[in-house]
Chain A
Amino acid sequence: MAVTILFLGPLADMAGAESKDVEAPLDWAGLLEVVGSDVADQLTQERVNIACDGRVLADKTALNAKDGDEVALLPPVSGG
């Protein structure tokens, strides 16, 4: 098992993929290392959120993803 990182919206273009599997566990520092510098720059901005296992993290730097978790990177939204 591993941690699956999902790139939502424009982050998928930036990452060049919609998802990426990495070794568990995965914390904030580890995430910034594996996503590439462009996406990492976005992640450090306040307007980008992170969900782990289907829940949006109140403090994304507290990320602690385990085997089988899905980590979704959520850029600013636009609906309607």
Chain B
Amino acid sequence: MKDVRLLTEPFIPGAFVGPFTQANPGLGGVCTFVGEVRPNKDGQGEGQGEGQGEGQGTKDDWGVEALELSHYEPLTLPGMEALADEAIARFDLMGLLMVHRVGKLRVGEPIVLVSAAARHRRGAIDAVDFCMDHLKAAAWFWKREKRADGWHWIEPREDDYADLARWDKGP
């Protein structure tokens, strides 16, 4: 089963993953990734999106007060649906769950959840990797963060584009 959602309010990943797993009887494995708004390096105050690269922050990581994700209604959800269909076909999935937040987010809130169910682990793991690379750099979202000096728009890093390009070369 395919379950693709855009949410405007905070969500609890487990509340989605549990029922999703139950809805795919006979699966061999489930792989789940949850991206959250990351706290600052010093562990105090607020931070920025998962999208800025886990564990490789710069000084710009400091002093982030909020994260906001905007989207374009006619394209964003249909684009996610098409991505899900592509992943299901490419990795022979039994089911795919894809949840993405929009609106203002605080530190620790989940931004994105992808969960794939398959008969074999490799398909499930690769499908989640594939979906995340596309959601970060090729889906219709725009992300900005608020620091002390105002709002700053975030673009994908070179690494994000390189991660995305891996999938063009075939599995």
Question: Which residues from chain B contact A70 at a C-beta distance below 8 Å?
Answer: 74
Given A54-B75, A72-B72, residue A77 in contact with residue B154 (CB < 8 A): no
Interface digits, A60-80 against B, CB 8 Å rule (1 contact, 0 not)?
Answer: 000000000010101111111
Docked-complex contact A80 and B70, CB < 8 angstroms: no
Given A10-B142, A51-B74, A51-B75, residue A80 in contact with residue B136 (CB < 8 A): yes
Question: Which residues from chain B contact A78 at a C-beta distance below 8 Å?
Answer: 51, 136-137, 141-143, 153-156, 160
Distance between Cα atoms of A6 and B154 in the complex (Å): 19
Docked-complex contact B70 and A8, CB < 8 angstroms: yes
Question: Which residues from chain B contact A77 at a C-beta distance below 8 Å?
Answer: 137-142, 156
How many residue pairs, one in A and one in B, have C-beta atoms under 8 Å apart?
A: 69
Docked-complex contact A80 and B142, CB < 8 angstroms: no
| Closest chain A residue to B51, Cβ basis | A80
Distance between Cα atoms of A56 and B74 in the complex (Å): 10
Docked-complex contact A74 and B72, CB < 8 angstroms: yes
| Closest chain A residue to B52, Cβ basis | A78
| Closest chain A residue to B157, Cβ basis | A78
Question: Which residues from chain B contact A10 at a C-beta distance below 8 Å?
Answer: 142, 144, 153
Q: Say how far A42's CB is from chain B's closest CB, in angstroms.
A: 12
| Closest chain A residue to B111, Cβ basis | A80
Docked-complex contact B139 and A79, CB < 8 angstroms: yes
- With an 8 A cutoff between CB atoms, is A9 at the interface? yes
Docked-complex contact B112 and A80, CB < 8 angstroms: yes
- With an 8 A cutoff between CB atoms, is B106 at the interface? no
- With an 8 A cutoff between CB atoms, is B95 at the interface? no
Which chain B residues (15-37) contact chain A, with CB distance < 8 Å? 35
- With an 8 A cutoff between CB atoms, is B107 at the interface? no
Distance between Cα atoms of A76 and B51 in the complex (Å): 14
Distance between Cα atoms of A51 and B78 in the complex (Å): 14
Docked-complex contact B156 and A76, CB < 8 angstroms: yes
Docked-complex contact B141 and A79, CB < 8 angstroms: yes
> B-contacting residues of A (Cβ < 8 Å)?
6, 8-10, 13, 51, 54, 56, 70, 72, 74-80
Please name 20 further chain A to chain B contacts, defined as beta carbons within 8 Å, in addition to the given A13-B151, A78-B136, A79-B141, sorted by A numbering: A8-B70, A9-B144, A10-B144, A54-B74, A70-B74, A76-B155, A76-B156, A77-B137, A77-B140, A77-B141, A77-B142, A78-B51, A78-B137, A78-B156, A78-B160, A79-B51, A79-B100, A80-B111, A80-B112, A80-B141
